[in-house]
Structure 1
Amino acid sequence: MNPHDYCQDKAAKSGSSFYYSFLFLPPERRQAIIALYALCREVDDVVDECHDVQVAQTKLEWWRKEIGRTYGGQPTHPVGLALKDVIGRFNLPQEQLLEIIDGMEMDLTQTRYLDFKGLQLYCYRVASVVGLLAAEIFGYQDRQTLKYAHDLGMAFQLTNIIRDVGEDARRGRIYLPIEDLQRFNVPAKQIMDARHDDNFVQLMRFQAQRAQQYYDQAFAHLPPGDRKTQRPGLVMAAIYRTLLREIERDGFLVLDRRTSLTPIRKLWLAGSTWLRA
């Protein structure tokens, strides 16, 4: 299996909605975004699957060195080898790839966020930076598109947080800011115990409104001239906003279940959005 096939396999097996946004790209750009996505999956798996913090930190440090080897032309991992082929072609800054790893490492050392400002840094590192790198791969003429990519990444991560509240709580993490929990009178223990009530629904409705604001901001920033090249992001937005509406329609039943869209529905949203953009 060559490095790009390894990344393709990693992306396909993840079952992520992101994979559907890559399907219609030209081969060269699809290869690049899948290599970037495979890196994100590798470092995310370190955090989620390694229960010893020190071991996880050691593995993330290995990935930092692998990024350095990749930019030095001597990677050793299939993902590094795949990235070596594309980083120069698409002007992907080393510092941004390292910042993604910094974001993943936050999950090892921080399980609560006092306020939204603190959460914003986490979302920026694990999602907005990925959006900025993706914008380089997809191509743009107007630098205003980078503001679109930043805000869309924020919107995606906030949607993930809403969808995964219960799953994250079972891992000992609550991303909802403490100031928001206090505002809506939802103790952290209630989330850990998966107790759904009206206060929790109001809390989650507030989180959903915040995510929707970021979607709206992102679209407002996207220049018409870059709309076609940035279609993969619009595909992802269509899938994620549909998911968010499903969660809202179900009354935010996210503490003991994980709402998802069927592959057929994702494919339909991807195709129809691509054709309209």
Structure 2
Amino acid sequence: MVRARASPRHLERPQVGAPGPSRARKAIVSAGVQSAPQFSPSPSQVAVAYSVCRHITRSSAKNFYYAFLVLPKRKRRALCAVYAFMRRCDDIADDPTFSLQDRRNRLAEALEALHRAQAGHPTDDAVLLAVTDTQRRFNISSELLDQLAYGTMMDVEEAAEYSRADQENSPITVQYRSFDDLYKYCYRVASVVGLVCIRVFGYRDSNAEALAERCGIAFQLTNIIRDVKEDAQMGRVYLPEQDLAAVGVKASELRDATDAARFSPLLAMEADRAREYYRAGDE
């Protein structure tokens, strides 16, 4: 459930267990959502909702789905609900038939619907029924779910309109200046996923949160290293500008990247960072 991709640069480095406030959520609450009547779906409605999420997960992410099968039923269906919610947001963010602004608006609408369901407004949306039930059962904060949603939108927050027809001639954007900037992005699209998952898995030691954050950073760095050429061909470079300068590589060179030796120092630098974060798994 790790997504690869661009974060707002004004964000402070997130603190473990203390994600920043969601502007969208504040707006919804201030509009009076908090005063909603309490809606209590029937057990059969909840069961059907989880079944829908299970189908979404099995259809869209077979690798995740089969990994979930080893978990107890209540945890398995909870992760399916979280995945289905992420899949919905991801599909909105990646939909090329809509402009960037339309995608932002559609994501805001999806989050508003989530917040209304969280506040007790009636809904017949299976994904919302299941994810809000999961949130209550496993004590998942609303802020974490908000960050999951916004993590899927980070690519379009700062990106210019991009046409595949102009792919060869499109400029390449270096998304982040420093590793600190990249870290913020990795936290939102990967570490937050881990922080949600450990709440479903269950843990006693609060140190698990810091370890989940670090493993998330490692996973996302691995994704970025793996997709360097593909991302560059789409006009995006996630490796920090400072790292490119340190080894004398231009962003435009990554689009072809035929000389492996030339790029080895750059990729080795990022791989060393990933290995350092992976060591959290040994603690």
TM-score if structure 2 supplies the norm length? 0.72
Any conservation in 1 of the 2:257–2:263 contact (CA below 8 Å)? no
Any conservation in 2 of the 1:36–1:83 contact (CA below 8 Å)? yes
Task: Report deviation, 1:190.
Answer: 1.1
Secondary structure of 1:39 counterpart = helix
Any conservation in 1 of the 2:90–2:153 contact (CA below 8 Å)? no
State the alpha-carbon separation in 2 of the partners of residues 165 and 16 from structure 1: 25
Q: Whose radius of gyration is greater, 1 or 2?
A: 2
- 1:137-216 to 2 correspondence within 5 Å? 137-216=200-279
Higher RCO structure, 1 or 2 (CA under 8 Å, sep 6+):
2
Q: Name structure 2 gaps, 5 residues minimum.
A: 1-46, 160-174
The answer to whether the aligner puts 1:86 opposite 2:149 as a matched pair is no
Tell me what 1:66 maps to.
113
Q: RMSD across aligned C-alpha pairs, in angstroms?
A: 2.0
- 1:1-277 to 2 correspondence within 5 Å? 2-15=48-61, 17-50=63-96, 52-73=99-120, 74-110=122-158, 112-220=175-283
Paired AA for residue 19 in structure 1: Y
- Aligned CA distance change for structure 1 residues 14 and 203 (closer, same or farther; 3 Å): farther
How many residue pairs were aligned? 220
TM-score if structure 1 supplies the norm length? 0.73
Secondary structure of 1:84 counterpart = helix
Secondary structure of 1:140 counterpart = coil
Q: Deviations over 1:64-93 (max 9, x none)?
A: 112202312334532212112211110010
Tell me what 1:269 maps to.
none
More helix by share: 1
Task: Report deviation, 1:191.
Answer: 1.4
State the alpha-carbon separation in 1 of the partners of residues 226 and 87 from structure 2: 18
Task: Report deviation, 1:63.
Answer: 1.8
Q: Deviations over 1:89-140 (max 9, x none)?
A: 1001001111122222221123511111111111111111111111110001
